[in-house]
Every structure is written in C-alpha cells, then in structure tokens.
Amino acid sequence: MKLCMIGTGYVGLVSGVCFSDLGNDVICVDKDINKINSLKKGKIPIYEPGLSELVNKNYKNKKLSFSSDLRTSVKNSDIIFICVGTPTKKGGSSADLNQIYNVAKELSLSINKFKIIITKSTVPVTTGDEIEKILSKKNSKNKFAVISNPEFLREGEAIRDFTYPDRVVIGSNDIKSNKIMKNLYSPLISKGAQYVHTSRRAAELIKYASNAFLATKITFINEIANLCEKTGIDVEDISIGMGLDKRIGSRFLRAGPAYGGSCFPKDTRAIISTADKFKTNLSVIKSVIKSNQNRSSILLKRVHAILKNKVKNKKITFLGVTFKANTDDMRDSSSLIMIPALSKKGALIKYYDPTGFKKDFEKIKNVSYENTIKKSLEGSDLVIIHTEWNDFKSLNFKNMVKGKKFIIYDMRNIYSPSKIKAQGFKYFSIGR
Ligand code: UGA
C-alpha cells in the first residue's frame, strides 16, 4: 500500500519506517527541509535503538522515501497518517492542535482521489470530527474517511512496540476503510496483536485513558513505596505480589522517581482539560498529577536526610539524567528538578549519561558533565542512580574507586541492597 506519514517526529518516523519494513511504499513528509535532507543522508534526528539501521535498509531498497512536498506526497498516496506534535498549549493544560489543523487544511487542498486520513498523533476526543469538518469544506464526503489509530510505542522500545503491539486500535465509522486498515495491519495481527475496532471518538479516548492509567499505576506504586520505607517492607515484594494477580498485572509497577517524558505529563493534563470541556471531574487523574509533581521533593528530602542535612559542598554524582533508559530525551525528567534544587543548596554535582552532555544543565551552578562513569564517581560523597541504563546495572563500585567510599542512592532499585552493603557501601533505594 502507498502510505504517507506527515511529521517525522517520534511517531511518524518510527511507524513510517516500520510500515516500509512490512513491504509498504512509505513517504515521510516534514516541512523542515533540513531534517528531510539529513534523513536522506541517513542522519536520524532522534535517539532510538535500531532505528538508523532500519531507515537505511528501507531507504536503500526504495520502500522508504523523504520529502518536504506535502501536496505531491499526499496525491501519490492512498493512506495518510497525521503524526505531528500535540504539545501542551502555552500557559494552559489542553493540547495545542494548531499543527493538526494546519495539516488538515493542507490536506483539504490535496485530495485527488479517495484517501484514508488517519490521526496517529495523540489527539483529544472530537479532533477527528473537526478534521472531517475542515476537509468537507473543499471536498465531498465520499472522497475521504477520517480515522483514529493511536500509537502506543514507548521511546527506547519503539521498534519492538510497533512490531509486536498488544493491540491495534482503529476508530472508524466507515466500513470500507476499516477493512483496508485491517489489511494494512494484518502482518502484526497474524503475529498475535488484537485488532480493536471502535468509534473514532472511542479510539481517541483509548489513547489518553491508557496513558493516564499507566501514569496512575506508577504513581500508586510510588506512594506505596513511601509507606514501605516507613514500615520496613520491600516494595519489590509488593509489586511481585500484586502483579501476579492477572487483574492487576506486573508491568508499570516499578517504583522510582517521578514519571516523566513527552507523553504522561502532557496527556494527563490534556485528558483533564477535555473532561473539563465536557463538565466531567477526573479526580483520580488530578490526584495522580499532584502526587507526581510532589514526588521529586519527597526524593530530595530523602537525599537531605541521607546526607544528614549537610548538602553544602557535598559532591553528588548523577548516573543517568534522561527520563528513562534508552533515550536521550530530557523532557519532564525528574533530574531537571532535582539537580537545580541540589545545586541551589550548594551541592557540587557531576553527572554521566550514556547519551552525553545535556544543555539543560549548562547554566546551573556547579554542575558538570563527565564523559565516563569512572570519572563521574571520583571523589563523590553520594552517587544517585537516576536512570536504569544497562550500563549502570553491573558496576563494581569497589574496583572503580579506590579509597573513599561514597553513599549510593539507587532510585531505580537496580542493585540488591545486601550485595552492595557487603562491598562496604552505604546503600539506599526506593521503597525498601
Ligand atoms: C508512554 C507509553 O508507555 C506508550 O505506550 C505511549 O505510546 C507513549 O507514552 C506515548 O504516548 O507516545 P514513554 O513516554 O516513551 O511511553 O515511556 P514509558 O516507558 O511509558 O515511561 C514513562 C515514565 O514512566 C518514565 O519516566 C519511566 O521511568 C516511568 N516508569 C515506567 C516508572 O517509573 N515505572 C514503571 O514501572 C514504568
């Protein structure tokens, strides 16, 4: 099938490449000409394991192409995916849909034959209705179908998540295009993905409700971890004990720092805003947002307690600063709150991240980047394991730093407390 992905951000590029790898002819469009030129040269604008190889393979065998000419690309395609950003509105909490509606206006001028137009971007309920209205101004209704097909891939696991999804959700009120979509996804359905066909509005809400629920699950276990710390219980036991109940499930029950990234914080805010519009109170999600916002100050209090309230001039190392492993994404990472707060209290901070130096800390006093784990640990009083990169999972701290022993605060519960303590280190972790 001939597909056009509009927007070469995370969702557009990953799903476009993966669709081409399934044998479709895919053209990825972006109005940023520099980005398109770089992609043609094989330069990938985002950090995602395995993506570069897959782009180069499919670009070489001509299943994948790049263009900044939206109208021609759309004219030459049958299925159009809108994959542009829906960030939080400046100064507000709802999703800014400007990019979506601008694309819809462009599309309305490019429909030369029947097109299936799909929102893959995360969009609030009724966005599909609005797109349909825009398209109808210049085209008759039998020339297009607007469908919602939300994407559930995670940064760092994107290719695997695309290739082996738990479910494919298609929100379509049109029978003909539903059949075409089922056919497009048949290679994934035959490998076990459930195909879920709903109304367009339901598909839009499934995405927000899923992200909000996962954010709730994480926040729930984070609060239980607080209780575990006060009662001498290991939160890992709670996660296992709860997770084995199939009604609960074990995934996303890892306690840690506040959840971050480009999705959960933005989407929990946006679903509340949608609910406000429809005069509905989503009080659970509101509490989740509040609890998550408070999470970094809880962990900071613990850092102060670990250092016996003497933070000034203490050398603190952060291992990992991104919001999670296998990404270079700093958006809403809890390190953006913790590092400046500790620097303000006079701490001397070094950090190491497998994805390198971060501009975010450039102007923060007494914060420096080290390009090896070893250098970042030298002279440290406290080492905070902030992100769960594999690189940090089997460190022999004893051999890495001679002499002075630092304290370890493992915010991802990577290590076994007894093993680290046996090496002579003071060790703290989350909820145990
Ligand atoms: C999330 C969803 O998981 C994807 O399904 C969705 O497609 C995506 O948002 C999106 O809307 O585009 P992502 O933001 O890439 O994916 O990252 P996650 O792996 O979900 O992690 C989000 C945050 O939760 C991270 O800060 C992570 O460290 C934290 N987390 C996750 C925990 O603290 N504990 C867990 O058990 C799991």
For every residue of 257-282, DSSP letters joined together read S---SSSHHHHHHHHHHHHHHTT---
Contact (Cβ atoms closer than 8 angstroms) between residue 364 and residue 357: no
User: Which has the closest alpha carbon to 11: 155, 130, 202, 198?
Assistant: 155
State the number of CA atoms in the 13 A half-sphere of 240 facing the CB.
5
pLDDT for residue 331: 96
Out of 46, 167, 259, give the residue to mutate to test ligand 1, the one with the largest number of ligand atoms within 8 Å of its CB.
259
Long-range CB pairs of 137-143 (<8 Å, 24+ gap) are 137/108, 138/108, 138/109, 138/111, 139/108, 139/111, 142/114, 143/111, 143/113, 143/114, 143/115
Residues 6+ away with beta carbon under 8 Å from 68: 29, 30, 31, 32, 33, 36
First-to-last alpha carbon distance for the chain, in angstroms, is: 52
pLDDT for residue 380: 96
CA atoms of 21 and 218, how far apart (whole Å)? 33
**Is the dihedral angle over the CA atoms 304, 308, 311, 312 positive or is it negative?**
positive
Q: Would the CB of 153 count as within 6 Å of ligand 1?
A: yes
At residue 353's C-alpha, the angle toward residues 373 and 297, to 5°, is 110
Could you say which residues of the chain have pLDDT below 50? none
427 three-class SS: strand
Contact (Cβ atoms closer than 8 angstroms) between residue 27 and residue 66: yes
Over residues 356-385, the pLDDT tens digits come to 999 999 999 999 999 999 999 999 999 999
Contact (Cβ atoms closer than 8 angstroms) between residue 27 and residue 67: yes
Torsion of CA 49, 331, 4, 168, to 10 degrees: 80
Q: Would the CB of 253 count as within 6 Å of ligand 1?
A: yes
Torsion of CA 148, 154, 158, 163, to 10 degrees: -60
Residues 6+ away with beta carbon under 8 Å from 205: 125
Query: What backbone torsions phi and psi does residue 133 show, to the nearest 5 degrees?
Result: -65, -45
pLDDT for residue 182: 97
Q: Would the CB of 211 count as within 6 Å of ligand 1?
A: yes
Nearest CA to ligand 1 atom 3: 154
Over residues 43-56, the pLDDT tens digits come to 999 999 999 999 99
233-432 and 2-198 share a CATH fold: yes
Out of 121, 252, 331, 414, give the residue to mutate to test ligand 1, the one with the largest number of ligand atoms within 8 Å of its CB.
252
CA atoms of 12 and 5, how far apart (whole Å)? 6
Q: How much is the pTM?
A: 0.97
Contact (Cβ atoms closer than 8 angstroms) between residue 260 and residue 302: no
CATH 3.40.50.1980 fits 2-198, yes or no: no
Nearest CA to ligand 1 atom 9: 263
* Number of neighbouring beta carbons within 10 Å of residue 106: 16
Which two tokens mark 204? 């839009």
CA atoms of 386 and 415, how far apart (whole Å)? 13
Nearest CA to ligand 1 atom 36: 252
**Which atom number of ligand 1 is nearest to the Cα of residue 210?**
5
pLDDT for residue 401: 82
Concerning whether 28 is annotated as a catalytic residue, the answer is no
Domain ranges of the chain: 2-198, 233-432
User: Which has the closest alpha carbon to 267: 202, 328, 213, 346?
Assistant: 213
Long-range CB pairs of 90-93 (<8 Å, 24+ gap) are 92/273, 93/269, 93/270, 93/272, 93/273
**Architecture of the domain delimited by 233-432:** 3-Layer(aba) Sandwich (3.40)
Q: Would the CB of 264 count as within 6 Å of ligand 1?
A: yes
Nearest CA to ligand 1 atom 20: 154
Q: Find the 261 Cα to ligand 1 centroid distance in Å.
A: 7
